[in-house]
Chain A
């Protein structure tokens, strides 16, 4: 339960930190840390406009996405406590729940009958398909290394051995998770969240037609998803056995660091040319395979 609450709390700060980092990097002062959530409060006060073309799917999709994200949040542990739902193979449920959310976002985009949103839907479907193998290979290396198949148990057994290669492996794993998080949350260099114009759009354009309550739900879901991935990275990097108070502090520090990394990447890196994106995402799978090779060395199959 602690993990769930901590992720929710981190989600309050996360988007603000990203925006602030980006502003400071461009030489401006930037909005307040809680500004994105004040925007959500404004959205909740507004009414909604729905398109004639859309149907039931458009109306329920944001709720489905938010429900899947909260479901996924229940699966992540913190410190040595088990997650609310913990069983063997829970990472499969994690990945597929998030995929369910993406499915509904994509079909809701197609529901509007607009060519913008169709374009975004097509790209999102392709990129999320290409990033799945990278995530699963990474999880497979976790399972190979620790011999367990449940998030809570894997992270408890992660830093037991003190081999050199373990540090390399966790660095590669953390790097990979950061990249996967950036792809799944549609940030640079895959997608530009500032615009919805044709050249850059994937995620922003899929939610173009939403207003009011639904838009608020989508934003809440996005922020929670960031914190979700941040929690995963935290679990990978920090050993589970340390003092709980220290870990809580470290948790927020890691989340803030993750947000700043995203902010800096967005400020200084150009967006990929759209048809080079599949290659970029496939690079993630290659790096996951390098991690697999390191695990083979660690488990002495490749002496």
Chain B
């Protein structure tokens, strides 16, 4: 069962590179949260029940429902144009994404380790590279936020890979989630403008 979820996760990453609208991004992030919840349920068998329930609740509530809801409210409120502006045309983004997939597979083979499941390692690296790619190739702040969310999913997946040995890591990953949630709430509180690239461009 886990295998289906992992492969579906990889497919969502491909769609990140080819998606056009910001609302698609938000839906993909929600889907990824759901998949991560499923993976956590099936994979972590040696963790005690309370911790497992906490992890499941967190991924379900936070990643799948709360964060996407906040993001979509920001998108609607700030009237961001539906199609996100990119610095790099979509075709090349997809080519880089393919390159990222190949690099992560090769790295996973080089870094083989008896404690880590290499499939998790490969997909986690691919997620990391996709997140970085999103941040580097887009101009809007909201796109950077979403890229950061994807990177954070990667960290969560890394921690799941060795979660049976060190359950503390997963909890630290969840703290990272909460940190991002605070970031996003900041957009409401401070009335920053996420549909510009003001915060990311250096001004003199």
Q: Do chains A and B touch in the complex (CB under 8 A)?
A: yes
- Give a binary string over B97-126; 1 marks a CB under 8 Å from any A CB, 0 the rest: 110011001001100100000110010000
Instruction: Check B3–A289 contact: CB distance below 8 A.
Output: no
Q: Top 7 A-B pairs ranked by shortest CB distance?
A: A279-B90, A286-B14, A283-B18, A282-B94, A279-B91, A164-B3, A168-B7
Given contacts A287-B11, A302-B108, contact A282 B119 (CB under 8 A): no
Q: How far is the CA of A296 from the CA of B91 in the complex (A)?
A: 26
Q: What are some 17 contacts across the A-B interface (CB < 8 A)? A: A168-B7, A276-B20, A276-B90, A279-B91, A279-B94, A282-B95, A286-B14, A289-B98, A289-B102, A290-B10, A290-B11, A290-B14, A293-B122, A301-B109, A302-B105, A302-B119, A303-B118
Count how many pairs of residues, one from A and one from B, have CB atoms less than 8 Å apart in the complex.
58
Q: How far is the CA of A301 from the CA of B146 in the complex (A)?
A: 33
Query: Could you say which residues of chain A place their CB within 8 Å of the CB of B102?
Result: 289
In this complex, what residue of B is CB-closest to A169?
B7
Task: Write the residues of chain A forming the contact surface with B, with a CB cutoff of 8 angstroms.
Answer: 164-165, 168, 172, 276, 278-280, 282-283, 285-287, 289-290, 293-294, 296-297, 301-303
Of B17, B94, B118, the most chain A CB neighbours within 10 A belong to: B94
Q: How far is the CA of A283 from the CA of B11 in the complex (A)?
A: 10
Instruction: Check A293–B95 contact: CB distance below 8 A.
Output: no
Instruction: Check B4–A168 contact: CB distance below 8 A.
Output: yes
Q: How far is the CA of A282 from the CA of B20 in the complex (A)?
A: 14
Contacts of B1-39 to chain A: CB distance below 8 A = 1, 3-4, 7, 10-11, 14-15, 17-18, 20
Query: Could you say which residues of chain B place their CB within 8 Å of the CB of A279?
Result: 18, 90-91, 94
Q: How far is the CA of A270 from the CA of B7 in the complex (A)?
A: 27
In this complex, what residue of A is CB-closest to B14?
A286
Instruction: Check B94–A283 contact: CB distance below 8 A.
Output: yes
Query: Could you say which residues of chain B place their CB within 8 Å of the CB of A297?
Result: 119
Instruction: Check A168–B11 contact: CB distance below 8 A.
Output: no
Given contacts A293-B105, A293-B122, 9 further A-B contacts (CB under 8 A): A164-B1, A276-B90, A282-B95, A283-B94, A286-B17, A286-B18, A286-B97, A290-B14, A297-B119
In angstroms, how far is the closest chain B Cβ from the Cβ of A138? 15
Of B95, B105, B118, the most chain A CB neighbours within 10 A belong to: B105
Secondary structure of the A contact surface, majority rule: helix
Contacts of B132-174 to chain A: CB distance below 8 A = none
In angstroms, how far is the closest chain B Cβ from the Cβ of A272? 10
Query: Could you say which residues of chain A place their CB within 8 Å of the CB of B119?
Result: 297, 302
Of A168, A286, A290, the most chain B CB neighbours within 10 A belong to: A286
Contact of A294 among B7, B15, B17 (CB under 8 A): B7
Instruction: Check A168–B105 contact: CB distance below 8 A.
Output: no
Instruction: Check B122–A302 contact: CB distance below 8 A.
Output: yes
Instruction: Check B118–A286 contact: CB distance below 8 A.
Output: no
Q: How far is the CA of A221 from the CA of B52 in the complex (A)?
A: 58
Q: How far is the CA of A282 from the CA of B14 in the complex (A)?
A: 10
Query: Could you say which residues of chain B place their CB within 8 Å of the CB of A285?
Result: 98
Instruction: Check B7–A290 contact: CB distance below 8 A.
Output: yes
Instruction: Check B101–A293 contact: CB distance below 8 A.
Output: yes
Q: How far is the CA of A168 from the CA of B9 in the complex (A)?
A: 13
In angstroms, how far is the closest chain B Cβ from the Cβ of A263? 24
Query: Could you say which residues of chain B place their CB within 8 Å of the CB of A164?
Result: 1, 3-4
Q: How far is the CA of A165 from the CA of B3 in the complex (A)?
A: 7
Query: Could you say which residues of chain B place their CB within 8 Å of the CB of A165?
Result: 3
Query: Could you say which residues of chain B place their CB within 8 Å of the CB of A294?
Result: 7
